[in-house]
Amino acid sequence: MIIQIKENIAESQTEALAATCEGVVVKSASAILVVTPSAMKAHDPRFDNIIEKCWAMDSDIQLASRKFMPETRKISIGKFTSGTAQTLLTIGPCGVEGEEMLEESAKLIVESGLTSIRAGAFKPRTSPYSFQGMGEEGLKLLAKMRDKYGLSVVTEVRDSTHVQLVLDYADVIQIGAKAMYDHGILRACGRSQKPILLKRGFGTTLQEFVQAAEFILSGGNPNLMLCERGIRTFETKSRFTLDLCGAAYLKENTNLPVVLDPSHAMGYGYGVPDLARACMAMGVDGLLIEVHPNPLVAKSDASQQLNHESFRKLFESLKPIAAAVGRSIV
Residue 296 DSSP class? G
CB 321 within 8 A of CB 280: yes
Smallest distance from ligand PEP to CB 102, Å? 14
Q: Determine the Cα–Cα distance for residues 19 and 93; give it in Å rounded to an integer.
A: 47
Applying CB under 6 A, which of residues 23, 92, 176, 295 lies at the interface with ligand PEP? 176
Greatest CA separation found in the chain? 66
From 65, 226, 301, 318, residue interacting with Mn ion (rule: CB under 5 A): 301
Q: How far apart (Å, rounded) are the C-alpha atoms in residues 247 and 229?
A: 10
Say whether 156 sits in a helix, a strand or coil. Answer: strand
> DSSP 3-state assignment of 165?
helix
**Residue 186 binds Mn ion, judged by CB under 5 A:** no
Q: How many angstroms separate the CA atoms of 116 and 154, rounded?
A: 7
Q: Which of 199, 239, 251, 299 binds ligand PEP (CB under 6 A)?
A: 199
Task: Please choose which of Mn ion, ligand PEP, none residue 229 contacts, taking the beta carbon within 5 to 8 angstroms, the exact cut-off set by kind.
Answer: ligand PEP
Amino acid at 141: L
For residue 177, state whether it binds ligand PEP (rule: CB under 6 A). Answer: yes
- Stretches 93-101, 110-118, 186-194, 220-228: which one binds Mn ion (CB under 5 A)? 93-101
Give 154's strand partners: 118, 172
Among ligand PEP, Mn ion, none, the one that 246 touches (CB under a kind-dependent 5 to 8 A) is none
Beta strands in 48-146 (DSSP E): 51-55, 76-77, 80-81, 86-92, 116-118
264 lies in the binding site for ligand PEP (CB under 6 A)? yes
Q: Which is nearer to ligand PEP, 124 or 262 (CB)?
A: 124
Considering CB under 5 A, how many residues would be counted as binding Mn ion?
A: 2
- The 66-85 site mask, x for binding ligand PEP (CB under 6 A), equals --------------------
Query: Cα–Cα distance between 288 and 266 in angstroms, integer?
Result: 13
Stretch of 76-84, 174-182, 218-226, 322-330 contacting ligand PEP, by CB under 6 A = 174-182
Shortest CB 289 distance to Mn ion, Å: 11
285 binds Mn ion (CB under 5 A): no
Please spell the DSSP secondary structure of 12-23, one letter per residue: HHHHHHHHHTTP
Please select the residue that binds ligand PEP; options are 34, 35, 94, 188, rule is CB under 6 A. Answer: 94
The CA distance from 159 to 20, in Å, is 34
For the bound state, the minimum distance from the C-beta of residue 93 to Mn ion, rounded and expressed in Å, comes to 8
Among 73, 229, 251, 308, binds ligand PEP (CB under 6 A): 229
Rounded to a whole number of angstroms, the minimum distance from the CB of residue 20 to ligand PEP is 40
Could you give phi then psi for residue 179, rounded to 5 degrees?
-95, 0
Binding residues for ligand PEP, rule: CB under 6 A, are: 94, 120, 124, 176-178, 199, 229, 264
